[in-house]
Amino acid sequence: MAQTKVYSLFTDFDINLFKAGKHYRLYEKFGSHIVTVDGIEGTYFAVWAPSAKQVSVIGDFNFWTEGEHQLNVRWDSSGIWEGFIPFVGKGNLYKYKIESHNNGIKTEKADPYARRCEHPPKTASIIWDDNYKWKDDSWMKKRKKHNALDAPYSVYEVHLGSWKRQVEEDRFLSYYELADELVHYVKEMNFTHVELMPIMEFPYDPSWGYQVTGYFAPTSRFGYPEEFKYLVDKLHQNDIGIILDWVPSHFPEDAHGLGFFDGSNLYEHPDPRKGYHQDWKSLIFNYGRNEVKSFLISNAIFWLEQYHADGLRVDAVASMLFLDYSRKDGEWEPNIYGGRENLEAIAFLKELNLEVYQSFPDVQTIAEESTAFTGVSKPVFLGGLGFGMKWMMGWMHDTLDYFKKNPIYRQYHQNDITFSLAYAFTENFMLPLSHDEVVYGKNSLIGRMPGDEWQRFANLRLLFGYMFTHPGTNLLFMGGEFGQYNEWDFQGSLDWNLLDFKPHKDFQNYYKALNTFYKEQSALFEKQFSHEGFEWISYDDHQNSVISYIRKGHDSKNNLVVSCNLTPAVQKDYKLGIPTKGKLVEIFNSDIEEFGGSGVCNAKPITVRKSPWNGKNYSAKVTLPPLGVVIFKIE
């Protein structure tokens, strides 16, 4: 048995900062790093295992022999084990063999900080160093000058494994192939951002990536780490931002993962009432342990710094905030004040956002949070959690429930479609129509729409037109932009053959036009999180199932008048209250023939007359197409 050479990357490392949970660049020290010591190239290893009696590096270079290369424990009671192994380098496989002080328990673990992992179902870590040369300087400089909260934000949510497959070989597209095909498609469709479902390494395909074992490694399913960087680079070179789904809420129990790492509950909370998620059969991080906080915040910073991500969408925030989340009475313990809030998780989320925005003020953190918890997207100094945006789950549920109703009954549910404006400005909301809404028997978006085929497409055009003109940013899961009929299948591909049929191709053209229009109209994004950017014209015309409103930007000359006719009946000479005199000019209509509509439109400018209506001093009579959204400018 041999000790590894005494060598350390921790000479300038503040151990007290680590113990206090305030070191946010742990990946610079922990994990495997190719270095040269005394003229010999090899690999330095460092792992945190405070309950360990002995830690060995096992790998293909020592025939996976325990004790052949033992690490040295640091003298400072930090629980860090480290050592240098000469002549071991890029591409070598390894794990840590850990013997615990707890009853001599032995574990065999992948490196929590590994930059690359074996292709599942294999589970070893891989020593890696890519030295990628970025070419996205223009994007990164522009990002620093840009306020994302005051800009268009139309997000295309993608599951890389099922967006499109290589048909002849029935395999995933590689990162390189996606850098051509996905980037070209997203640019052509005029989305501003792509959001990727988790690309951090995960062992089980049916988890969709939400059970992470390799927090610092992009999944090997699609290629090498530098190839993923190339994909990000290509997106940026084409003026497309990238948001990564990030999962600090739970992790799987797989034997090679973080669970029971050194024979103790190192990363997970030891109390199963706080440390085990019954719904997902997974472990929950111990947010009260400082070193675990440092691990998670370092991971968030890692993807923003090393992979140039433009944002993190934080998964399952609600499950972190509440001790009784998905638990019955007796299955949870109140906090010290007798409440249900998880105070440690709340403190962690605040610390996370403070560090992210201090280091990267030009990115966004976005919370998937489904409760009425207040201040999710408010700054920490104002008592909030500090996220940039929050998913508007209430809008999503109410809107989909409304649109699946037969239009003849919508007059009795007017409040469902207008209620979101009662709280639209309490948070910085993103309107999501995500992957969760097109699985498990919920049906596809087009499949939920009532009526014959024409009405289904008209309803979906109307829904998206309403979404883009509603205050807030927006997100759509892949396939929705061309009317995918089947539910999402993570093992297959989107039904691209549907684009051979006119209704689907017309619909795709509609969504492309909607993205383009949205990016060109400042009134739709300049005040998207402020009540100053929205004004009702009429929300109570339930008899006709029509809603009308004004969207406002910084310059009133760019204001838009929006009217949604939520039934198939054409509304002729429909009277709209207008705040100022002039002429109404139709500039967007979801019912034009190019989009598969019936062609009902307002071909000529409409005079605004001095005739009070809807609480406004002026009014105009317009034509509203069936199941259509019409947008006017006042000239």
Active site residues per annotation: 315, 368
Between β-strands 311-314 and 241-246, what pairing exists: parallel, antiparallel or unpaired? parallel
Whole-number Å distance between alpha carbons of 393 and 361 = 26
Whole-number Å distance between alpha carbons of 11 and 9 = 6
Q: Contact at 8 Å (CB) between 616 and 575?
A: no
Dmax (CA) of the chain: 94
Distances (CA, A) of 264 to 16, 72, 260, 278, 536: 22, 19, 5, 20, 58
Q: Contact at 8 Å (CB) between 133 and 464?
A: no
For the residues of 531-567, what is the DSSP string, one character each? GGGEEEEEEEETTTTEEEEEE--SSGGG-EEEEEE-S
Q: Which of 231, 273, 267 is nearest to 248 (CA)?
A: 267
Whole-number Å distance between alpha carbons of 71 and 463 = 59
Whole-number Å distance between alpha carbons of 274 and 290 = 16
Q: Which residues have a Cβ under 8 Å from the Cβ of 350 and sit 6 or more positions away?
A: 380, 385, 386
What size, in residues, is the chain? 635
Take residue 580 and report the two structure tokens written for it: 């100022």
Q: Which amino acid is at 7?
A: Y
Count each helix (H run) and each strand (E run) in the chain, helices first.
14, 31
Phi, psi for 595 (deg, rounded to 5): -95, 5
Take residue 340 and report the two structure tokens written for it: 């249900």
Whole-number Å distance between alpha carbons of 589 and 623 = 11
Sort residue 404 into left (φ over 0), alpha (ψ -120 to 50) or beta.
alpha
Whole-number Å distance between alpha carbons of 164 and 380 = 41
Sort residue 103 into left (φ over 0), alpha (ψ -120 to 50) or beta.
left
How large is the C-alpha radius of gyration of the chain?
27
Q: Contact at 8 Å (CB) between 310 and 364?
A: yes
Take residue 105 and report the two structure tokens written for it: 């328990």
Q: Contact at 8 Å (CB) between 409 and 542?
A: no
Beta strands in 31-74 (DSSP E): 31-37, 40-48, 52-59, 72-73
Whole-number Å distance between alpha carbons of 157 and 147 = 21
Whole-number Å distance between alpha carbons of 249 and 313 = 12
Q: Contact at 8 Å (CB) between 367 and 248?
A: no
Angle between helices 225-237 and 137-145 (to 10 degrees): 60
Q: Contact at 8 Å (CB) between 319 and 250?
A: yes
Between β-strands 571-578 and 582-589, what pairing exists: parallel, antiparallel or unpaired? unpaired
